[in-house]
Structure 1
Amino acid sequence: MLGRKGSPGSSWVSLVLLLVHLSAALEVPLDPKILQELSQPPTITRQSPKDYVIDPRDNIVIQCEAKGKPPPSFSWTRNGTHFDIDKDSRVIMKPNSGTLVIDIVGGGKAEAYEGEYQCTARNDRGTAVSNKIVIRQSRSPMWAKEKIEPIIVQEGVALVLRCDPPAGLPPPIIFWMDSLMRRFPQNERVSQGLNGDLYFSNVLPNDSRSDYICYARFNHTQTIQQKQPISVRVLTMDAINETYAAISNGTELSGDSPAGERKPSILSPKGTRSNKMVLRGQILYLECIAEGLPTPVIRWNKEGGELPSNRAFQINYKKTLKIIDVSEADSGRYQCTAKNKMGTNKHTISVTVKAAPYWINEPKNLVLAPGEDGTIICRANGNPKPAVQWLVNGFPIESAPSDVSRQLMDDTIMFTKVQVSTSAVYQCNASNQHGYLLANAFVNVLAEPPRMLSFSDQVYQVIANKPAWLDCAFFGSPIPKIQWFKDGHGSILYGDSYIFHDNGTVEIIIAQKNNSGTYTCIATNTLGVAHNQAFLEVKDPTTIIKQPEYQSVEKLGTAVFECQVKHDPTLLPIIIWLKNGEELPDDSRHQVFGETLTLLHVTEEDQGSYTCIVNTTLDVNSATAALTVLDRPDPPSDLELTSPLDRSVQLSWIPGDEHNSPISHFIIEYEEDQFEPGAWHHLVEVEGTKSTAQLKLSPYVNYQFRVIAVNPIGSSEPSLPSEHYFTQPAAPEDNPSNVQGMGTDPNNLVITWKPLKGIQHNGAGLTYKVSWRQKDVDDEWTSVMVANVSKYIVSGTPTFSPYDLKVQAFNSLGAAPEPQAVTGYSGEDLPLLAPTSVRQHVVNSTLAKVHWNPVPPESVLGFLKGYKIYYWKERSLIKQSRHHPEVKILTFSGDKNHGMVPGLDPFSVYKLNVRVFNGKGVGPPSDNVVVQTPEGVPSSPEFLKITSPTLDSLTLQWGPPVHPNGILKGYILKYQPINSTHELGPLVEITIPADNETSWTLKDLNYSTRYKFYLNAYTAVGPGSKITEEAITVMDEAMASRQVDIATQGWFIGLMCAIALLILILLIVCFIKRNKGGKYPVKEKEDAHADPEIQPMKEDDGAFGEYRSLESDTEDHKPLKGSRTSSDGTVKKGESDDSLVDYGEGGEGQFNEDGSFIGQYSGKKEKEAVEGNESSEAPSPVNAMNSFV
C-alpha cells in the first residue's frame, strides 16, 4: 500500500486505517484461567470524581482500583509531589488496592487534607495513572448578622425581597417559608428567581406579613440556614396618612403613591440585552421575571429557529426556560416577551455554548503478537479545541525512552513490528480552559499458541428450521485461523448455509434434520494448533395440532379447553395454562388433566382469555381462546310511569346487564290490590331492543307494574315494582264466557257461565242479567238479575227442549254490550224404545258380528250417546254343562247399527241383546239373540315331561290341553337330535290318536344323545300351539338302572308343598292389597283364547265396542292366571278364565270408545327350534288375531 503513487497524506491515512483494523483483531478473553497466565499492564478500574467535595464529619475515602498481571502496586501524589502515606498515621491504603482512607472521625481535620491527589498503578508491564482528584471540604456558612427594616409598599407596585445567601460548597438550595415552616405559594405574580430572590410583579394587600424568611439548605452537610425575617406592609389609598407618619419615623417606603395599571417591565435580568455562556452537555437556565399590572404573561422564542421540543421546558410559571443536554446547536439569541393588556416588553439573551473536552475516539487497549502492527488513537473535541498530550507510563512521551516500533503523529501513535519490550501504558490528556480528559490505554505484546475456551464435546440441541450456533471460543497470539468440519476432517464447512463469526462460532442459518452430527473446529496460528468437538441434534418442532376453541358457556356450566400437542419424542413438553396472561387462580374448579383444562361451575369471574403454553427445553408454542360466560340478565331498574291517560300509561325502565346474551324480550306484569292482592299477572311482552311500552289498562284498577328481562339463558329476577297507578271506573266491556244450559232433571234447566275476572268488573256493584226463552216457542225473553254468581236454575221446563240463553254483565256505571245468544237444553230422561231386528253373524270361533235397527231419535229423550251390547255364555258344547251367566257389556259410541263381539270361547253357546243410552242412562233391552261358535284349535298340552331314559328309549308323559276348544282328535309328536355344537338333526313326526292317551315311549334312539321334543294337540280345525322339552339317553345300562323319578321322592314332594304354601300366602296378600284399591295390570290373553280360524278382514269402523262386565261395576278386575314350570321339569300351560273383563268399560280395555278394536291377543312366547324341514302348520292364534290390527 505504501508503494502506491499518490500524495503522502493519502498513503499515511491508508496506513493508519489499516493499523486501526489490525489493532482491533485481538482481544484478551475474560476466562479466569487465561487471565491468570497472561501478563497484562495495569488498568484503572475505579477512581473518585475529579471534583470531590467531602463532608468534614466523615472519614475521607479516595478511591483508586486497578487490575493487571502481575497485580499492580500503588502510590499517590498530593499537589504534584509524592504523598508518603507511611508518615501520616491517619492515612491508610486498603489491602490489594490503591484506595486511601483518611481518619477524620478519630480527630483529624478535613481542611488539612484538601488538595489535588493523583493515583499511580504500576507493574513490570507499565504504569497507569488516575485523574487528578481535587478534594474540597463542604461548607455551610451562616448569614451575617443584620438588621432588616420593615418594608412598606404601595398596593400594585413591584417588590423584590433579597435573599443574598452565603457562598457554600456546594451552593445551597434556596426556598422561602414563613415562621411556621410553610412554603409561600408561588404563581404568575409571585415567584422565586434563580438567584433566590422573591419577586412580586405587583403587591396586594394580603401580601402584608412579618415573616418572609429565606432558607438555604446545604444538602452535603444536611443543614439548613435561615435569613432574618423580613416584614412587608402593603398600603392602600385609605392608609396614606399612616404612610406619612411612617416616613417621619424613618421607615423605608417603596413607591410614592399607589400604582395603577401599567405595561410590563423586566426585573431580571436588567436591561434589554444580556449574555449567557453554558457548557456542552449541561443544563441551560434562562430567566425572565417581569413586573406590571395586571400581572404580565411570559412567552419565549428563539430568533431564527425553534425551541428544541424534546429538550426545552418552560418552568416557574414560564418565567424560566430550561434546556437539557445542551449542544452547539443551542447557541443563539433567545427572546422573552412580557405582555399584559397595557403593553409588552422584551429582553434578549445571547447564548454561547462552549465545550469541555469530549471523546471522539477514546484510546483503546491494544493486544498484539510479536511482529504485528497496531494503532492507538486519542481524538477529542471541545470549544476551544483541546490540546492533546501523550504520556508513557505516567511520563511525557517526549522524555520517555525511544522505541523504534513507535511513531507519534498528533493524536495517533502507530506501532510496527512490535516486540514484547514494546508493552507499556500510554496516557492521553486532552484539555482546554473548561476541563480535561485523561485516558489510559496499554499496549500488551503476547506470544501464545491457540487455546480452546469452549467446553469439549458439548451437545447442542436445536429445533428444525431454526438457526443453530456452535461455539468455538478460542485465544491465541497471533490470532488463530478457524476452520469447521462435519463428521470428520474430510468435509470442511462452506457455502451460503453457514455464517462464520469472528469469535469462532459457526451459525447454521436454517438447521435441518440432516445437519445433525459431529462437528470439529480447528484453531491454527504460527505457534500451534488446537481443536474442539461438538455435537448437534436437530429436533422436530413442538406444534399444537388442536388449539383451544372459543367457549360460550352458561353460568355454572362446564368449559373444556383442549390443547393437543405434537412434539419430538426425545423432548418432554410441559403444558402451562394462563388466564389473561397470568397464572391460573388457585381454584378447585379449575382442573387440568393432561392436555385438557376443565372449568367447572363457571362464573363471570372466569371470563377471559385462556392460553395454553407448551414448553420444552428448546422451544415454546402457545394458543389462546376466549371464554364467555352467559347468564340470565340482571333485572331492569328505575321504572318510571309517564304520559298518563284514562286507559293507558307509558312505562319506561333501564335494562340490566345482559351477561353476554342479548335480551330477546321484556315481560311486563301487573299486580292490583283489590281482587287478587299479591298475585302478579302477565300484561304484555316488549322487544328486547326497547325500554319503553305504552300499556293498555282496564278501568277501576289500582295497578303496580314490574318488568322481567328474558334472554336465551333464562329470565331475570323481577324488577322492583313501579309506583301505583289508579284508573277511573267505567261500564263493563266484557260479558261472562262459556255460557251453557243443561238440565239435571227432566223438568229443569241449569244455566252456567264463567264469571268475569276482577279486573273486568270496571267498577263497583257487579251483577249479571240472566235471560232465557224456549227456542222456536217463546218470542219474549225471561230475565232475572243475579249477584256475582256462576249459575242459575230454571224449573218447570219440558224434557230435553232447546233454549236460547244470554248472560249480560252490569255495574254501577252501566251495562256491557249485548251478548250473543247460545243454545242450551233442559234435562234428559231415559230412552223409551229398544233397538229392533237384532241379528248376528259368526265370523270365526272367537268373533261374532251383530247388526240392529237404530231407535227413532225422538224416543231417545236426550243426547244419543251410543249403543251397548250385553252378552253372556250359556254353555260349552264340549262339556254340555251350563255356566253361571256372567254378563259382559260392549259400548259403541255414536249412532251405530252394528258392532263386533270378540273374545268368545270356541265351541260354545252365547246370548246377547242391544240397548240404546243417552246422558241420563240406558234404555230397555232388545230381544235376546243366540250365538253358537264353531270349534277352534286347542291350547298346548298342560305339561310335558320325559321319564325312564335308557340307552335307546325315552318315555314322554303329558297332560291334555286345558282348553281343547273342540273335540280332541289326537296329538302330533315331533323330535330331532341335538349334536355337541347345538345343531339340530332331522325332524321325526308321529301322530298319536286321542283315545285318552297321555304317554308315549320312543324306541330305537341313539344312546347318550340329546333330543328336542315338540308336542301339540289337534281338533278337526287343526293343531294348536305346541310345548317343547329336551332329554338325553343314557350312556350304559348301569346308569339307566340308577335313574330315579324325582317326582316320586318324598323330599321333593315336601319341597313342592312348601313352595305351593308360600305361593298361596303371596296370592292372599296380593288379593288383600288389590281390594284396598291397588291396580294390577291385565295379563295378555293366552293362546287358548285365540282362534286360528280368524282370517284377515277389512276393519269395520265401529265394529268393536268397549267391554264391561256387569261384575266390574261392583268389584275390581281380577288378573289372569299365568303359566309356570314345575320343578320336576314338567312344563304346565297357564290357565285362563273366560272373562273378557280386560275389555270392560272403565278399565284399560283394548277397544276404543267407538267400538274399534285397538288391542291384540298375545300368547305365551316359547323358545322354538328352527325346523328347517318341518311342514307348515296351522296359523298361530297370535298371528291370526294380529291381522285385525
Structure 2
Amino acid sequence: MMNLDTAFLPNQETVFEKDFLSYGYSLSARQWGLLRVDGKDPLLYICEIPVNQVNLLDMEDRTFQYGIVVNDITRIPRGPYFIRQPVPVVFDLTRRKTLNQVTLSCIANGYPTPEFQWYKEDFESDQLVSKRIDPLLMPRHTVSGGLLIITNPEEIKDRGKYHCVASNQYGSIVSESVQLSFGFIGEFNLKRSSENGLEHWGKAIYCDPPQYFPDIQYYWVRDVFPNFVEEDSRTFVSFDGNLYFSSLENIDRGRYSCNVQSTVSSNGRNGPFFSVEVRQHPNYQQLKFPNNFPKSFPEAPRVGEDVRLECVAFGYPVPNYNWTRKGAPLPKGVVITNYNRILVLPKVKVEDMGEYVCRATNDKVSIEGSVTVSVQATPVFTIPLGDMHMDRGEDLLWTCEAFGIPDVNYLWLRNGQVLDPLSLEQGDRERFEIRENVLIIRKLDPDRDQAMYQCKASNQIAERYSSGQLRILDIKPSFAKKPLESDIYAADGGNVTIACNPEAAPRPKYVWRKDGFAIGSGGRRIILPSGHLLINPVSMEDVGNFTCTAENRFGSDSSTGRVIVLRGPVFVEQPPNRILTTVGQTEQLRCRASAEGILDLAYIWKHNGITLRFDSSPVDFHDNLEAAHYIRSREGSLEINNITLGQAGEYECVAKTSVGRISTKTHLFVYGPPGAVGGVQVLELTSSSAVLRWTDGATNGDPIRLYMVEGRTNWNQTWSVLAMNITAKDVDRLTSRKEAQLINTVSPYSTYEFRISAANTLGYGPSSIPSPQYNTRPDRIFQPPTNVGGGGGKTGDLTITWTPFVGQQQNASGTYYKVFWRRLAGVDADVTEESEYQSQIVKHSRSAGLFVATVDRNRRYYYTPYKVKVQGCNDVGCGQESPEVSIYSAEDVPQVAPNQVAARAFNSTSLNVTWLPMDLSRKQMRGNMIGFRIKYWRRQDKEDASVFYLSRSTRNEALIVGLMPDTYYWVRVMAYNGAGEGPQSERFLERTFKKAPLKPPTTVQVVAVNPSTVRVTWRYVAPSIEEEPLIGYKVRVWESDQDMSTANDTLVPLGRKLEAYVTGLSWGKRYNLRVLAYSQGGDGKMSSPTWVFRMGDDSDVNSSVQMNVAILVLLASVILSICQTFTYNLGLYT
C-alpha cells in the first residue's frame, strides 16, 4: 500500500487506548476503510459468509438457555460433553506387589448426568471392533462413573486401546482412544569383553542395554558404583545410551559399567563391569562425526515435545562446537548446553522445523554436519464443532477444521456411531451430505435429527474428537428475557437502532408501531432483517412509544419502549482564536459548554490533533510534551503551566455527551529565547584571537540582539565562556549569516571547539552543536609561575617549589623553567649576603615544580634565608619572572640537650616531666624548633623497649599519660626540629602513685533544703593497700541536658562529716548528681546509679518538702535494686 493514511476512515479520534484496527464502512463518508478500535467491541470486523447461510448468524447467539426458563444453570438440559479425555497408561510390572491394578478415567458433564460405558478395541478379521466391557461378565473389570479399574492386569489379555462412551437422553459421544501398555526392564548380559582404543583417537562404547518398555535413562559408572562418569569437553553420554570419548587419554583407562533406569518407575538394572584399555599411537585422529551425528532425539518429534539435538566429534585436539540453522536464525528460547554439544528446542513448534548445522572446530580443521528436524503434529481443532440450536425446517451447514502433520482425515459420528449417508434410510440420504469436514443437513426434523454429533480428525499420529449437540426448536415468540429498553435515548440529528430480540423459532416476522400506528420500512425508519428498527436521522418527531411485535406459526408477542430525543451540547464560553504568550508563563484556555441535565458532559483537549491525557502521573504524549504542564478544571478549561516552545500549536476543546459532540479551536503562539545557531566555523585563528561565523537559528518571536561564545580545548573538556553579550555583523542577510571577532580570548597552542548561544529580550537560548576543531598558533608563555616557595630537605640543600604550567598555560611545545636564588644576610655574623642571583635551567618533566640546589657542603648555611624566583620558557621564548620570595635552606639537627630533667608523679597513671628552658637561637637549634621528644621506659625493662611521647610545644614541661600505677619509669628528653632530634638528656627515675580509689561511695541520698540548695550524704570509702590514701570526696553535679565535662565539683576534705551542701541550683532545671572519692592517685569510681532531680519553689518546699523527702528516701531504697536512674521533683509534690 503506497499511502497507508488514505486507508483510514476520516474523522477519527487519535487516542492511545485504541491499539487495534478493523475494516468497516462509514455511513457519513460512504466508504470502506480502517477503523481504530480498542479490541473489546463485538462485530467491528468483516465476516465473509455465503448468502444462503446468513440465517446462521442469528443462531450463533443461541445457547442452551434459549427458549427455556431455568433458575439453576447447572440443571439446564443438555447432552454430554467431555471435561477430561482419558490418557494413556503404562502399568509397571515391577510394582505389582504394591499396586496390582490399573485405572483409566474419563470425565463428562451434562444434564441429566451422563452414564459411562467402556470399550476395548480389538481386530477381528482385519477389522477394528469395539467390545463393550461388562463388569458382570468380566470380574477383574470395574466401571464406576467414568473410571475403568482393571484388577490384576494381564499383559496378553489387557494390553491394547480403550475408549469410553458418555450418554444421556440427548445422545452419546465417544472419547479418544488410549493405549494400555505394560512397562518392564530385562536383565543385562552378565559378561562383557574388554574395549580397546588408541590414544588421541575417538572411541564410542556401546551400552548394549536389556530389553525394555517404554523408555529408559542411561548412567555410566567407572571403577565402582556409584562413581558416575563426569562429562567434560572430551567425554559425553548420549541419549542413545553410548559413552563417547572425543579423544582418548591414558587417564581414561579403567573399568566401566552401563546402568539403566525405567522412566515409569524407580527400578533399574546394573550392567557388568568391563575394562577399557588405551594403546599409544604415533598419530592423532583428524576430526570426524561418529554414528550418524548430529542426531535428533526423538527422531520424529511431535509438536509440544522437547527436542534434543546432539553433536559429538572424534579427533585431537578436542573440538569446540557451534550450532546454526540454515536459512534462518535459531528459534527463540533454545537452550545450548554441555559444552555446546546439545541444543534443546523446548516445546518444539512447527516453525522450528529446518536443517540444523553443527560445526566442530579445533586448531587444525573445521567440519560440519547437519540434522533435519521434521515435526509431526497431532490434530488440533482450529474450528471446533460447537453446539447448534436451529429452527425446524432450516438447512444446517456444520463445519469443523483441524490442523495436523501429516494432513488429517475427517469422520462424522452421530450418537457415537459412524455417520454414513449411504447407510441412512432412503428419506434421509438426500438430506444428509458430508464433504470431508463439512456436514450438511437439509430440512431439519426434530424427531429424526436431534442428537449428539462428533467430528473426528485423525492422522497417522493420533485422533481427536470435537462434539456438539444439535437442538431443533419450536418456540412461540417471547420478550420475557429481552424486552425492549423502557427508555431509549437518541440524539437530535443522530441515529439510533432500537433492538428487537425476542426468543422465537422458527424466525418470526416483525411489525413496528409508533404510538399504536404501524410503521413501514423506508425513509428515515428502516426495519432491518434482524428485526431491529433503524432511525436515521433522528428528529423531535420520533419522541413516543415504539412497539415491536414478533409473530410465527406458534403465536406472537410484543414489547414497547419509549424514545426520548435529546439535543447535543452547546458552547457557553470559547477561547479566542489566537493567544500570545512567552516561555515560562501560565495560560488558561477557557472552554465551557451546556448540555441536557440528565446527560454527563465530558471535555477532551487535543494538542495538534493528539488527545491530552490527564493521569495522576506524568505521561509522555509526543516528543517533549508532558502531562505535568496541563491542568484541566471541572468546567472544561485547560491551564498550561511553565509553558515551553513545545506547547505552541493548535488546541482543540471537544465537549461531548452520549448524544453529540462539538469542538472549538485556538492557536497558542509562544515567544521565547532564540533557537540554537548552526554552522559555526572559524575563518581566522591566531595565537590569541579568532574570527567566527555562523547562521542564526529561529528567533522565536523576538529579534536576536546578543551572543555568547564558549570554547573548550584539548587540555580541558569543560566549556568556558570566552565572550559574553557580544554583537555580530551581518554577512548575508538572506541566509542570516553572522560574523564576530574575538580578541585576546583564546590560548595559544590549543585545539579549540566553539559553540555559540543567541539571546533576545527573553534571554539566552540553547547552545549550538560544537564546531569542528581548530588549532591556535604557539606563543611565548604569558604569565609567571605561581605559588613559588620552598624550604626543607636534607642539610645543605635549598629546595625551591612552584606550580608547573598546565597544558593550556604552556602556549607552545618544549616547556622548561629557569630557577634563580641568592643568599640573604642572617642574624649570625658568619652568614653574608650574595649580590647576584645564581640560576639553573630545569627541563626534566619528572622534577617539574621542584628544584633542589646544593648551597652548603660544609654545614655552614643551615636554615639561612634566600631570595628565589622562577621564570617559565618554551620553544618560542620566555615569559615573565615571578616575584621574589624568601625561603630558608634546610635545617640541621639541634646541637644541645635539655638540662636538669626531672619527673614528678601526677597521678597513678601519669608523670609530669620538666626541664630548664632552652636557648632557641639558630646556632643552638640549627633551625625552627618544633618541640620535644620524651623517651620513657620501666625500670625493669631495657632502654631498647622505650616508648616516645611527642610534645609539639616549646614549653619546658610535658605530661606523660597511660602509665601503670605504682611503677618506676626512666625518662629522657631531647629537642627536635624539621631535620630531626638532638642529643638526649640525662635520664631521671620516678614512680607513679598507687591506684585511685577503686570503690564508689554508697547509700547516696539527696534532700532538698531550699529551691537552690540540696543536701547530699553518703557512706565512707575504705581504701585498700593497693590504693593511695584518701584526700577527700567530690560531689559532682551537672545539668541533665549538658555533658559531664561541664560538671561542678563540691569538695569535702577527709575528716569532715560525710555530707555536702550543693548551692546555686536553678529553679525548674533537671540535674544529674554523682559522688566519688579522690586521692593522689586520681579520681575514684563514681557512685551509681546517677541521681536525677528537678528543683521546686519556696512554697512547695515549705509545705511539703519534709514529708515528701522522707517518702522519697524510702522509695529510693526500694527502687535502687531495680533501676539504674532515679528522677525526683524536689519541691513540687501533690
Structure 1-normalised TM-score? Answer: 0.39
Q: Which has the higher contact order (CA 8 A, sep 6+)?
A: 1
Larger Rg computed on CA atoms: 1
